[in-house]
Amino acid sequence: MKPYRQMNFWIANPGLNNFLGLALACSISVVSIGSPPPVDDHAPAPVAPYGEDGEEGAELEPREDRVVIIEPKKILDKQAASAEILKYMELASSLWRSGDHELAEEYFSAALGAPARLPEKENVLFAMGELYRESGKHPKAAAAYERLVEEFPNSRRAPIVFMELGHLYREMGGLELAISKYYMVLNSSLNASVDQVEKFRRLSLKAKIEIAKTHMDLLDFEEAFRQYDLLSRLDLDPIEHRSVRYRVCHLLYNMGSYQQAVSKLKHFLEEYKVSPQSPEIRYLLAKSYEKLNRKPDALREVVLILKRQSSPDTALDNDGDYWKQRMGNELANEFYQQGDYRSALTIYQSLAKYNATPNWRWPAIHQIGLCFERLGLPEKAVMAYQEILDPENGDFGDQELDAGILSLREMAKWRLDHLNWEGDLVARLNVLGAR
């Protein structure tokens, strides 16, 4: 029997067009056999260099005269594969930003098709998630992030990825699922390495804030209040602390705890004298007084706010006027509906003085006219309606007035004609009575 001749060589198969362009390392042994040796029942079976599992000394069954090819051993060059994955990822990202999303996804798919769980795949999935999220493709972004944490559960990015998943699910309406992802941020942050402790401490705090905010979006006010109450006891920066206290005030009002809300609202306004949230907080304070049937306090709060035309609140917040108008109109309308015309008149007069523009001033003056009518003062009501029809501040012109204001002028004209008719009728009756 002739000896084994070992031949090791690389085979590259261009027909497969492997996307990594890697060669298969195959170890092939060729056996040349002459005339079969005499059969010896006690002789050991032939031994191949490597068996099926690659173990030395594996036995082979006796074979006929032929060439025997040992099973190939496939070897992956991880360094080359990693380099190719990164190249595909860079190319895909470039194509995506240029607008060719379809071709970019093909390259991303090719990069993820490597036959091993290489760490570079994590970079690919994270890049895909970011690009999908920036493009508004939230379901695809969530799928990429979910695959990342599934294939790389010990990733250093896990807390960041879970935070992004929470934001995505909340934007897509999955509020409860979002809360679960925010909790995963807290759990994964516990395994942070020493160099990441401070970074993930801040991330965990943001996750707690998002949990409380999402419970509020779910209208689960009690749980949201519990979460914000816990947050208020933490070491927060001034802006975060103010935001948490603002939410606590809102929740107490929404829960119907008006007495407790009044205390928190007043304390907020005392501590944050200059704050973008102050107009809304003052609105909630006046409404809380009204809910507690403390009408004098509610009336005082509204009139006080409307007199402060140059307050720091207005300087900081462009929505300050909105909250003042809303607060004044709501409370004045409630007083009017309850028959407290004098309180309603006081608020409407303050509203009319706050802003001279027709869209703001004329609705208040119209209500002033109605209050005077209910109080039995038609002469003053006539003066109010005449001011709408002949404003002192000049002729604004119908072109500058919206449909609602034009309709209001028609109503004022009708009320004025009616009052003039009533006045003329009363005068005639008085003349007849005198005769």
Residue 56 and residue 85 in one domain? no
CA geometry: angle 198, 129, 123, nearest 5 deg: 70
Looking at the domain assignment, is residue 260 inside a domain?
yes
Long-range contacts of 331-334 (CB under 8 A, 24+ apart): 331/286, 331/287, 331/290, 331/298, 331/299, 331/302, 332/302, 332/367, 334/290
Residue 146 and residue 61 in one domain? no
pLDDT digits (tens, 9 = 90+) for 281-317: 999 999 999 999 998 999 988 888 887 654 545 444 4
Provide the 8-state DSSP code for 29.
Answer: E
Q: Where among 314, 340, 366 does a domain terminate?
A: 340
Residue 257 and residue 127 in one domain? yes
CATH code: domain of residue 128: 1.25.40.10
**According to the model, what pLDDT value does residue 103 have?**
92
Long-range contacts of 64-70 (CB under 8 A, 24+ apart): 65/33, 65/36, 66/33, 67/30, 67/31, 67/32, 68/29, 68/30, 68/31, 69/28, 69/29, 69/30, 70/27, 70/28, 70/29
Residue 331 and residue 409 in one domain? no
Query: Is 421 in a helix, a strand, or coil?
Result: helix
| Residue 138 β-bridge partners | none
- The dihedral through the CA atoms of 260, 265, 268, 270 has a sign that is negative
Looking at the domain assignment, is residue 417 inside a domain?
yes
Range of the domain at 364: 356-435
Provide the 8-state DSSP code for 59.
Answer: B
pLDDT digits (tens, 9 = 90+) for 393-427: 445 554 466 777 778 888 888 888 888 776 555 55
CA geometry: angle 372, 375, 380, nearest 5 deg: 30
Q: Where among 287, 308, 340 does a domain terminate?
A: 340
Looking at the domain assignment, is residue 8 inside a domain?
yes
Residue 269 and residue 366 in one domain? no
Neighbours of 416 (CB within 10 A): 19
- Taking 50 as the pLDDT cut, the residues of the chain under it are 1-60, 310, 312, 314-317, 393-394, 398-399, 428, 431-432, 434-435
Q: Where among 9, 41, 75 does a domain terminate?
A: 75
Q: What's the predicted TM-score (pTM) here?
A: 0.67
Residue 108 and residue 222 in one domain? yes
Tell me the angle at which helices 358-374 and 403-434 cross, rounded to the nearest 10 degrees: 30
How far, in Å, CA of 432 to CA of 435, rounded? 5
Residue 67 and residue 146 in one domain? no
Looking at the domain assignment, is residue 149 inside a domain?
yes
Looking at the domain assignment, is residue 350 inside a domain?
no
Residue 181 and residue 227 in one domain? yes
Tell me the angle at which helices 238-254 and 197-217 cross, rounded to the nearest 10 degrees: 20
**According to the model, what pLDDT value does residue 433 have?**
55
Looking at the domain assignment, is residue 348 inside a domain?
no
